[in-house]
A and B are shown apart, each in its own frame.
Chain A
Amino acid sequence: MKYLNEFRDGEIAQRMAGEIRQLTTRPWAIMEVCGGQTHSIIRNGIDQLLPPEIELIHGPGCPVCVTPLELIDKALAIAALPDVIFCSFGDMLRVPGSEKDLFRIKSEGGDVRVVYSPLDSVNIARENPNRRVVFFGIGFETTAPANAMAVKWAHAQGLENFSMLVSHVLVPPAIKAIMESPGNRVQAFLAAGHVCSVMGLWQYPPLAERYRTPIVATGFEPLDVLEGIRRTVRQLEAGEAFVENAYARAVTFEGNKPAQAMLAEVFETCDRVWRGIGVIPQSGWRLSAKYRNYDAEYCFDVSGIQTTESPLCMSGAVLQGRIKPHQCPAFDKQCTPRNPLGATMVSSEGACAAYYNYGRFANVENPGVAT
């Protein structure tokens, strides 16, 4: 398929992996920020092509994983209301709240619908004037323009029965938090390509400079990921630390200017809790004052929710790269994809779920099989 198969070529991948092996003289810890990249790495077995010195740390860039528990509990409370149609991206449905998940709410009679675009939920609102339609607006900067557009579109149509439960998170403050956390091991970042296609690269040079860390905007296909790693290793080995674009077919330095302008109008920055990590200052977006009437937290009385996180779950340490998933005592014991204690065990982008599946194999064979 055009623009995809070209970036999945096995021979070129082996050649690039060879180049990375030649470049590497010592151990390096590189964090891929985005869950989409984690997914690609595991799905394609990219980590198996790399020299043992290169350690990939799976970052907090799975929006499903970092959405705070309190917000998921709010989503569950809203979705259970009889006059509500609750719309969500598919992989949020199995994320555990304190007691239930959205699948459970659906089975108990809640009207929970999977949509592929937030704009679909605006259509549902227009077609169901007697119901309140809520879209679960989560994600990084990548999904933000479509969510902003949905709010603007609802506003333009004068829809009063549409609102959005917003939990947007931002990459640059997360990089800052990781680099400043005690015990940080990350030495370089593969920046999330699709976040950068919206926001550009201009936010990153101060971070690269301040923390002396290479930041390489990287795509998602196997060859994209390998190219990002190759450039990162080259910088690390040369003692350099700057912002580089390894995903030029989608990313420019300026980014998508009209989208950025719309985001600035619809959202405002706020402190945000990241599930398993805690509050990161100025790391989220909420709807701006102009669009407050579309904020589900404002429209529905869902305050005073008491959350209880599993005391066994160490997803925070996993998300920060401090432990590998299988080092968590609950891993593959109390916590499995069937009965996830934390969100990292839910999404296919989640590090724990990825390790669970690969680890079963590695235990039978020898680790590092098929390299």
Chain B
Amino acid sequence: MSTLPDFTHWACPLPLRDYPNVVIGHGGGGKLGAELVEHLFVPAFRNDALENLGDSSVIEFARGASRLALSTDSFVVRPLFFPGGSIGELAVNGTVNDLAMSGAKPLYLTAGFIIEEGLPMQQLGEIVNRMAEAARQAGVLIVTGDTKVVDKGHGDGVFINTAGIGIVPDGIRIGPQFAQAGDAVILSGTIGDHGMAVMSVREGLAFDSLIQSDCAALNNLVEAMLAVDPSAIHVLRDPTRGGLASSLNEIAVRSQVGIDIDERALPVMPDVQSACELLGMDPIYVANEGKLVAFVAKDSAEAVLAAMRAHPLGQQAAIIGKVTHQHAGMLVARTAIGGSRVIPMQLGEQLPRIC
């Protein structure tokens, strides 16, 4: 089933309907901009902190919230809508996930829009509604925002920046530098879904497929994992750009440990594998937007794995490898036929091979 946008029932509230496309004036700080905020952003993101419409949102934290996590991320994706998601869900889930990967409970987001003149108002509306829905699902509030409009030709439709704040509960110490020899490496599900879903509809490369982006907020899954034993989880990472290979390489370097994985244990959907074979790509380098990799103390690995599998976003979770004293800073894979290979950090973008 396609989840590409269906605008047939979308109604843009008056008076925005007067302009079918975004014009420069929508970013000008005048009446048009105010209408955009009043009729689009506020109704979609509605919450008390946002609605005072001040220059900043003032929020109160619960007593005992001694450690805050902060994160920011900017989102540029072409096309804006792809099977399984859009830039809207990405912008919310991406920052929520970055916060969750430090063990934080994400609470508040900001949203900054840089819109290219001419973006159909319908599309902006759809993106904003999807952001609102993603925020609801993740249990976070979008409490402040900003809009700028740039001349046509100076942006790819819309760029979105989100920043987020979360609270790190006591007793949690998670970071890419904390992997220890003996840790089990657990992956929450299939790899490569998001990257290949976007690739399948990208101009010039489009191919027929049913691959859907895995875009999802992972904070709830992380909560379920932490409930098992907060001190057992040493590293959490969501392998987005650069894929699993880049995340694991970063962790190997930051923690100065070696990581051994078994290629046969990596869950890859058949469609994703086929598309990767076709394009000469390796799913281990392809982006994910709803997966995490966890480094867990050996004795708690099975219990954490069971908790992950009991969660809708971790049903296909698997132990894919372990941390070793050997080859510090390096990721080494056992291949399907029993050989081994170094999986290096990627230099830039993955280049499709010629043959």
Contact = CB atoms under 8 A, between A and B. Distances in A.
Given A1-B277, A365-B326, A349 B353 contact: yes
Given A36-B355, A360-B330, 16 more contacts: A9-B336, A10-B264, A10-B336, A14-B338, A35-B355, A45-B341, A49-B338, A90-B351, A93-B351, A138-B354, A222-B335, A337-B344, A348-B353, A364-B327, A369-B340, A370-B340
A48 B340 CA distance: 8
Interface residues of A, number: 56
Taking chain B's interface residues, is the majority helix, strand, or loop, or is none over half, making it mixed? loop
A317 interface: no
Nearest to B352: A90
Given A1-B274, A8-B336, A91 B352 contact: yes
A196 to B, nearest CB: 13
Contact of A13 (B337, B347, B354, B355): B337
B347 A45 contact: no
A89 B205 CA distance: 12
Interface of A: 1, 4, 8-10, 13-14, 34-36, 39, 42-49, 63-64, 89-94, 103, 113-116, 120, 124, 138-140, 142-143, 194, 222-223, 337-338, 347-349, 357-358, 360-361, 364-365, 369-371
A1 B279 CA distance: 15
A357 B342 contact: yes
B273 interface: yes
Contacts of A349: 353
Contacts of A360: 330, 342, 344
Contacts of B277: 1, 4
A337 B277 CA distance: 23
Interface string B183-210: 0000000000000000000001100000
A1 B283 CA distance: 14
Contacts of B218: none
B334 interface: yes
27 contacts: A1-B277, A4-B273, A9-B337, A10-B338, A46-B339, A49-B338, A89-B353, A90-B353, A91-B352, A91-B354, A92-B354, A94-B347, A94-B351, A103-B348, A115-B204, A120-B204, A139-B355, A140-B355, A223-B337, A360-B330, A360-B342, A364-B327, A364-B330, A365-B326, A365-B327, A369-B340, A370-B338
B210 to A, nearest CB: 15
A166 to B, nearest CB: 14
Nearest to A226: B337
Contact of A142 (B339, B340, B355): B355
B332 A361 contact: yes
A63 B339 contact: no
A217 to B, nearest CB: 15
Contacts of B342: 357-358, 360-361
Contact of A46 (B273, B337, B355): B337
**In the A-B complex, the 6 residue pairs with the closest CB atoms:** A45-B339, A370-B340, A13-B337, A90-B351, A90-B352, A89-B354
Contact of A361 (B330, B334, B336, B351): B330
A114 B212 CA distance: 23
B336 A116 contact: no
Given A115-B204, A361-B342, A8 B353 contact: no
Nearest to B203: A113
A16 B347 CA distance: 35
Nearest to A46: B339
A369 B337 CA distance: 14
